[in-house]
Structure 1
Amino acid sequence: MSRKLASRSTHGCWTCRLRKKKCDENHPSCSRCTSLQIACDGYGPRPYWMDRGDLQREQSRYKTHIIAQFKTAMRENELPGTSQNVERELDTLVATTIAPSSHPPAHPTQDTLLRSGLAPEPNLQLLGRDGDLHTSSEPIWSEALNNTDFLTELFYDQTVRMGSHNQSSSEASQTLATSISSVAEESNVPGSIGVSRSNSSSEVNMDAMDLLCDPILSEYSSSKWSGYNSEVDWSLCSQRPSRSGSTDPGSQPAGLSNPILHGDVEDILFMYYFDQVFYMHCPFYFPSNRQGRGWLLSILKRVNSAYHAALALSEYHYSTSMQHDSAYPVRTRGGHYDLALQELQTSLARSSAWSGNLGLTHNVEVLTTILHLLFYESCSGGKHNWQIHLGGANVLLPSLVQAQMGSATARKDQTKEHQDRAIPHPDTSISFLLGFFIYMHIVTCASTRSSQFLISDHKVLLETGEIKLADLIGCSNWAIVFIFEISSLDKWQKEEEDAQRLSLIELTKRGRQIEERLLSRLARIENDLSKRAPVDAHLRPEFIKTDITRIFALSAITYVHVVISGTYPDIPEIKRSVSKTIDALRSLPDPKLLQHVVWPYCISGCLATDEQQQAFRELVTLPRITHGTCLEALSLMEECWRLRKTESSSHDWASIMERRGQYILLI
């Protein structure tokens, strides 16, 4: 027998009060909201969007749109309870049991955070067992995060385009339409290993689809970045398919209309990511603590944007691999990437809700997403969107820097007794993310010869050993610190030159000091290399790291001489360091390791003499590298060599990028 819903009261959930509907005041989610498969915003303090103004109207429009889609899906699938007025039947029918909403309320509690995936799981211990890093005071920069417009307008809402995968306008439109069709078949919460997604028990992912049609995002259709047209046929967004599949059966690969098979495909991509793709980008990451990669699995399970970003990366490698079996259909390449962008924008819009330790957790989740998007950009040539992503990460990184430094202080204060307990290290995710972003920031400055990301705290973390880059990129901290110092010298030189007070004597003096210290460290490496055992020693990870560190250091010598003397390949010091770099690159045990030394490869190649140039071409062609930034680096070299012959002025990697109006992410 159906039970009667309570009359409307001032104590109903905020969703029903927003919609001016009766609420039975069930906890934690009312029956009306769960029956309509919309987020129940609970019974806590008044949400920020209940402002009797624009925010409230926008939230109401959003909820109404989701409900309309749900009703359409019910009618098209002939679900039980279908009628012309579902709301009217809800007043008399007993609400069916459906999985709780995955959306957090506007003022979340820890319990709802755990359910929604915006807080760490209890066994993750991201912030330690007591939830405190001992320096958990809210950072000053959080004022910027509290301004949603600042975050979204700063980088994502201005210039990130939809479908940035070298497609024409019509191809991008078809990609977007196909990805939307695929989204309708999924639930909103990423599944974990061994747990399939169920259409009958989870909320349809209407968030991402609704954002795709948001009028604000239509600005993307006319935006341009780095000379790249981002037109998309936004009229396709109105073609919302039902949960059962696409409105056009022929628009999807065979098998994707079956939700079980579709789930299998995502599971395959998910496992392919952890088994293969992760180590393509992080071949040196083998954490010694018991947590391992568990923190990453936890984030990918909880956070939609990170999940889709990882799947986009996996899908890209899967589709470009010559090894995989074609029996499993995959979505168009843009699908997961575009979903990750939309979910990322949603997360950034909610940044103002978090502060302190919860804010740190939120930033870790967002940065995990951004890192995977940057990996994707590097795979696809490193030409599009990476500056926006890296700039966005720069806003969030200070909280991780503060946490890492505070955690280091706390560890120093621990007694020997505490250290012997083998407590899981709380900073695994933070160290991982900081390491990659610090590396990308420093290499970006050296690649573009700009000072945008020269941050002194990053150098401190590397010098103190709080971050160990060798376990992430294979290169020791000291070599990257030298590149940081040379970029700082380059910045100083430009500032002095602009002020018309540049002393060439002082410039040479500073450059020589850096070079002398670099040569001293290189001498130690050469000494270690001479002591290697001849049999299979080069295959040991520590020796591969030594090789990679040496390559970076040799290229740093080339870099410092470019800053001191200019881009002249015939300068003896430059010619000698380029020659040694060629030998070091050729001696790599696996030719495909070239993809992990793209910056040294590009810097040295652009300064190659005529007789050295063929060696740099062969380095790419021999391992048959077919994608990534290595090919873009070679393209920069070829143009640099050509212009050096046809024009009187000298050119380097940065001037070629500037000439093209397109900067490359050389990672």
Structure 2
Amino acid sequence: MEPPSRTSRTSHGCWTCRLRRKKCDEQRPVCDTCAALCITCHYGDKKPEWMDGGTRQEKMIEQLKREVKQNAPYRRFERPHVSGDKVFNTGSGERLAGPQNMMPEPKQNGRDRSKESHVSPSQGTSCFHLDRSSVVGRSDSILTTFYLQSVLPFLFPFYRPPIARGGTAWILELMIRSPVVRQATLCQGCFFFCLAQGTDSRQVICDTVFSQVREAFQSLEIAIQAMGGSDIIQNPQGAVQIMASIVQMLHFEVAALTFENCGAHLNAALALFGQLFDRSAIVEPVGLRAHFNAFMDRLGPSSYIPPAEHILIPSAEQDAFYFTTALLLFDDVIASTTLQKRPRLYQYHQSLLKSTEGCEPIINLEEVIGCQNTTMLQIGEIAVLDEWKRECQNAVNLDIIELASRATPIKNALEGQIMSLESEPSKGCNPSGNLLDFLAPNDGVSSSRRLVTLVWTRAALLYLLVVVSGWQPASDEVRYHVGQIIDLLANKLPPSTLPRSMVWPFCIAGCLAEPAQRDEIRRMVEALQPSIVFSTARKALQVMENVWHRKEEDAYQDFSACFKAHGDMVLLV
């Protein structure tokens, strides 16, 4: 941000330009000077309280400087024309792969969307700047609302952040100010909205959405390239916006489109997380937990809700990083069971997912995916054990006694978790008397989390039994846990929880299911309609069918072989 120039000072423009001592063209609701820099344009007849000539004014100057630096990539944002397939580089060796065989995106209703009207809050308040080359029009407003109300709860049924902490407003805020987040979100909303309207030609929908997905990843590539590797730690807000978009698009692709690129996109997100988190460690080298907290502080500051300025709400980037980190930890663990390798984020498990010295874990996976941290930590440990076993087998020095010794604490932890979950009473809706408790949606999601974790824990135990003892579907212990999982999924849990939260444990149990149980499993998947939005569950059924049709002499020896038989990464998230 260049030093203020007294010669260009304005006394009639927006308060941002007055503070920066710049000439203002007095356009409303966003002046051209603020629009060019992609910074917040404060305007109104009443002088803001922070314009006090003292400490608060200095803080606002620093905040505007951060905005100028943060939004630098988007000032260089242009929509390119790219034909054919495209592979995108994240600047760290990882790549974003665009969907193949996709058609160019058609104009919407023959309009030039760049000329649609600008939506802004009322005068006298600050507004989030919208890039004039990519403004929010009527159709985008509808798709955004539809995404927040319907698509987000479908893709992440257990993610219900309390409104007292801002709820899902962070997504709306980032959509308004970030082209990459906006494009990634709108293509998802468009896809589901068209399906919900009962459009006759699903192929037309798929072709159009594939085109939009391609454009979304082109936007991500441009933002990454504009930022550059050295700028990532200097512009953490922008990097978090990109990482959140990649992870959201990854889950959308897996849910409704294809598994073809999920490996490349997961690698890109993990690489970006590593660049952010590892570089922040250089600044604050006092432990991973402290690194995370220090990085979260850099994504602030948190904001106050007027007029009660004691109500502190996390910044949009803080919420985005928390949500994205939870999903990355989860995705990474599930990918490790396919790849037969330890999770790439394994070094962060203890500091982010485990309680320490009476402190709650930094990341609570149950709030995002419905499964408690303890179970996911053990699945990560089993993946580590599986990798060790495979390395020993390759070196022809596997010690069965040591394998059992390493497995015992994991098994004890899982069995203890099962006992605890089964003895825990079901939690119903019990409002505390707080108005927010009464306003919260009561759809049974919170009360089903215990059963969801129980399903995951039993599946984790099956995973461990196969790693230690091999493929033994006729074992009494295996048959018992398979039966319990199928019963929970078929009779105890709402059908909506299967497709978006428990496909991995469903597949683990299904691969080991007895012939008499297989028709029930098929019926559970066939009941998920329309099939186009339940790609993960149907991919899991393909894996199971492949296992069921194998001859006994060609039977699989582990779950990794079951997944790898399909030729690509089967990321059941």
**Do residues 619 (structure 1) and 544 (structure 2) align?**
no
- Pick the aligned partner of 1:273 from 147, 154, 160: 147
Q: Point out the more displaced range, 595-604 or 457-466.
A: 457-466
**Do residues 424 (structure 1) and 349 (structure 2) align?**
no
- Pick the aligned partner of 2:540 from 633, 636, 640: 633
**Do residues 187 (structure 1) and 114 (structure 2) align?**
yes
Query: In structure 1, what is the equivalent of residue 182 of structure 2?
Result: 307
Which whole-Å CA distance do the structure 1 matches of 2:213 and 2:8 have between them?
36
Query: In structure 1, what is the equivalent of residue 16 of structure 2?
Result: none
| Unaligned ranges ≥5, structure 2 | 1-6, 10-26, 42-49, 51-58, 64-87, 123-129, 282-288, 298-308, 356-360, 431-441
Structure 2 CA distance for partners of 1:574 and 1:589, relative to 1, 3 Å: closer
What is the CA-CA distance between 1:311 and the residue it aligns to?
1.0
Deviations 1:397-456 (A, max 9, x none): 1325758744647999xxxxxxx9553345322211111111111111123333362521
What is the CA-CA distance between 1:512 and the residue it aligns to?
2.3
What is the CA-CA distance between 1:560 and the residue it aligns to?
0.2
Query: In structure 2, what is the equivalent of residue 666 of structure 1?
Result: 572
Query: Is the partner of 1:509 in helix, strand or coil?
Result: helix
| Unaligned ranges ≥5, structure 1 | 1-25, 29-95, 105-111, 117-122, 133-148, 196-200, 206-258, 413-419
Which whole-Å CA distance do the structure 2 matches of 1:631 and 1:308 have between them?
27
Which whole-Å CA distance do the structure 2 matches of 1:190 and 1:335 have between them?
25
Deviations 1:571-607 (A, max 9, x none): 2222221111111212344112101101101111111
Query: In structure 1, what is the equivalent of residue 549 of structure 2?
Result: 642
Which whole-Å CA distance do the structure 2 matches of 1:130 and 1:639 have between them?
62
Q: Point out the more displaced range, 397-406 or 184-193.
A: 184-193
Structure 2 CA distance for partners of 1:103 and 1:300, relative to 1, 3 Å: same
1:168-317 maps to which residues of 2 (within 5 A)?
169=101, 172=102, 175-176=103-104, 178-179=105-106, 185-187=112-114, 204=133, 263-288=137-162, 289-317=164-192
Structure 2 CA distance for partners of 1:358 and 1:423, relative to 1, 3 Å: farther
Which whole-Å CA distance do the structure 2 matches of 1:508 and 1:131 have between them?
58
Query: In structure 2, what is the equivalent of residue 253 of structure 1?
Result: none
Query: In structure 2, what is the equivalent of residue 526 of structure 1?
Result: 422
Query: In structure 2, what is the equivalent of residue 320 of structure 1?
Result: 195
Query: In structure 1, what is the equivalent of residue 496 of structure 2?
Result: 592
Deviations 1:357-394 (A, max 9, x none): 64211221101210221122112254121111110111
Which whole-Å CA distance do the structure 2 matches of 1:367 and 1:190 have between them?
29
- Pick the aligned partner of 1:580 from 456, 478, 484: 484
Structure 2 CA distance for partners of 1:202 and 1:448, relative to 1, 3 Å: closer
Which whole-Å CA distance do the structure 1 matches of 2:60 and 2:416 have between them?
44
**Do residues 380 (structure 1) and 284 (structure 2) align?**
no
Q: Point out the more displaced range, 652-661 or 625-634.
A: 652-661
Deviations 1:92-128 (A, max 9, x none): xxxx999749998xxxxxxx35369xxxxxx9xxxx9
Which whole-Å CA distance do the structure 2 matches of 1:625 and 1:593 have between them?
16
What is the CA-CA distance between 1:290 and the residue it aligns to?
3.5
What is the CA-CA distance between 1:666 and the residue it aligns to?
0.2
Q: Which amino acid aligns with 2:546?
A: E
**Do residues 151 (structure 1) and 90 (structure 2) align?**
yes
> Is the 8 Å Cα contact of residues 383 and 665 (structure 1) preserved in structure 2?
yes
- Per the normalisation by structure 2, the TM-score is 0.70
> Is the 8 Å Cα contact of residues 367 and 396 (structure 1) preserved in structure 2?
yes
What is the CA-CA distance between 1:264 and the residue it aligns to?
2.9
Which whole-Å CA distance do the structure 1 matches of 2:62 and 2:233 have between them?
7
Q: Which amino acid aligns with 2:555?
A: S
Query: In structure 2, what is the equivalent of residue 558 of structure 1?
Result: 462
Structure 2 CA distance for partners of 1:458 and 1:152, relative to 1, 3 Å: same
Query: In structure 1, what is the equivalent of residue 348 of structure 2?
Result: 457
> Is the 8 Å Cα contact of residues 190 and 303 (structure 1) preserved in structure 2?
no
What is the CA-CA distance between 1:325 and the residue it aligns to?
11
Which whole-Å CA distance do the structure 1 matches of 2:31 and 2:176 have between them?
16
> Is the 8 Å Cα contact of residues 90 and 272 (structure 2) preserved in structure 1?
no
- Per the normalisation by structure 1, the TM-score is 0.61
Which whole-Å CA distance do the structure 2 matches of 1:509 and 1:455 have between them?
21
Aligned length: 459
Structure 2 CA distance for partners of 1:387 and 1:344, relative to 1, 3 Å: same
Structure 2 CA distance for partners of 1:653 and 1:503, relative to 1, 3 Å: closer
1:540-555 maps to which residues of 2 (within 5 A)?
540-555=444-459
Q: What's the Cα RMSD here? A: 4.2
